[in-house]
Amino acid sequence: MLGDYEKFKKNIFGLTQIDLNAYKEKQMRRRIDTLISKNEMADYDAYVGLLKKDKEKFEQFVNFLTINVSEFYRNPEQWKLLDQEIIPDLIKKFGKSLKIWSAACSTGDEPYSLVMAFSKHIPLNQIKVFATDLDNQVMDTARLGIYSEKSIVGVPAEFKKKYFTKVGNSYQISNEIKSRVQFQQHNLLKDDYPTRCHLIVCRNVLIYFTEEAKEGVYKKFNDALVKDGVLFIGSTEQIMNYKTINFSRKSSFFFAKEK
C-alpha cells in the first residue's frame, strides 16, 4: 500500500485543481500507482513532494492522468453524418457565424478535423473553433500540428492532399487550418463553460468519469448550448437520461438542446 489515497486526492486537488473523486477510482488509482512505481517513489506523500518541486514530473503526472487517445476523423461514419446532416442544419438555423467548441480536444486531431469538415460548407476564414483541454502538454502538441501517418489515416484524401505536408515520417498540418483554432486550458469538472455554443464536440472522454460527474458535465453542456444547438459525443458513450437533461436525440451520437 502506498498510503492514504484520500489524503493524496486532496493534495492533488490543491496542486492541480483536478478532482480525482470524479474518476472511477479503481481504474485511476491503478494508473497513478503505476506512475509512482515508475518514478521510484515510496508512497503517495513522497510522490506529492516530487510533484511540488519538479516541474517536469508535475507535467508528466498531468499528461499521464489525462487520457489522450485521438485521431483525425475517428469513427468516419459519424463524421459523414456531421457533414451531410448536422452542419447543413446548423447553417440553415443559425447562419455561418457558428460558435464551435471542441472540449477535451487532446492533441488537436478533433478540432482540426472540425475545421476541415466545416470548410466544405463555410469559407475557411469564417470558421473558428474553440478547443480546450486540461493538459497543457497535449495542447502544445496540438499547436505544433505534427502527426503520425496512423493519426491521419481517416482524413479524406482531398484534405490530406490540400492541408498536410510530409515531414520525414510525419505530417505537418497547414497554418490555414491551425489558424482557425484557438486553444485554451479548461477543466470540465471545475471551470466555467463557454455560452451560446451552436456545436459542442466531446468524444470518448467522459467514459472515465463517474456517473454523477458525467451527468453534471452533460447538464453543463446543455446549458452551454443555444436552443437547437448540438452535442456530438463518442461511440463509446451513451446519454441514457438525455430527455431529463433537456436533450432530444438526433442520432446515436448527436443530441440537440430542446429548450
207-250 pLDDT, tens digit each: 888 999 999 999 999 999 999 999 999 988 889 899 999 999 99
Residue 67 binned pLDDT confidence (cut-offs 50, 70, 90): low
Q: With contact defined as beta carbons under 8 Å apart, do 153 and 70 qualify? A: no
| pLDDT tens digits for range 165-191 | 988 788 889 999 999 999 999 999 999
Q: Calculate mean pLDDT across residues 55-73.
A: 77
CA distances from 129 to 97, 101, 198 (A): 11, 6, 11
Q: Which domains does the chain have, with CATH numbers?
A: 5-65 (no CATH), 76-257 (3.40.50.150)
pTM above 0.85, yes or no: no
pLDDT at 68 over 60: no
Q: Which residue has the higher pLDDT, 38 or 25?
A: 38
Residue whose grid cell is 486526492: 9
CA atoms within 13 A on the CB side of 52: 12
Integer Cα distance of 180 and 176 in angstroms? 7
How far apart CA 229 and CA 246 sit, in angstroms, is: 11
Note the pLDDT tens digit of each residue in 13-31.
888 777 788 777 888 888 8
Instruction: Lowest mean pLDDT of 20-24, 34-38, 195-199, name the range.
Output: 20-24
pLDDT for res 111:
96
**For residue 69, what pLDDT band results from cuts at 50, 70 and 90?**
low
HSE toward the beta carbon, residue 187, CA cutoff 13 A: 12
* Section 114-143 average pLDDT: 93
